[in-house]
Amino acid sequence: MHYFFRLIAPRTTYHLDMSDAERALMTQHIDYWKALTDAGTSLLFGPVFDPKGAFGMAVIEVSSEDEAHDLSQKDPVIAAGVCTYELIPMRIGAIRKA
């Protein structure tokens, strides 16, 4: 199963005006998602600079929706209550081979 993970920041300017504590959590967040990507669970992740408000995204491959929520809730910025998230089921139409 594949899911589109959307990280929802606490404010639209979050990516521009993080406090030092928020920036430290974001570093942990990046490390967390890099490890998931290295393990093959996350196919890709990164920020989306939508003019209506930036957000984070990932495409993840898991065996169940419960597993997708479990991974999401372990994200340091979510576990700390700084950000929230949405999971949207998706189907991969095609993926480029490395």
Contact 67/45 with Cβ under 8 angstroms?
Answer: no
Name the residue among 62, 20, 63 with its Cα closest to residue 43: 62
pLDDT tens digit sequence for 16-27 = 999 999 999 999
pLDDT at 14: 92
Rounded-to-integer distance, Cα 46 and Cα 30, Å: 8
pLDDT band, residue 96 (cuts 50/70/90): confident
- pTM over 0.95, yes/no: no
Distance of CA 90 to the CA centre of its chain: 15
Domains of the chain: which residue ranges? Answer: 2-90
Per CATH, the number for 2-90 is 3.30.70.1060
Residues contacting residue 93 through CB under 8 Å, at least 6 positions apart: none
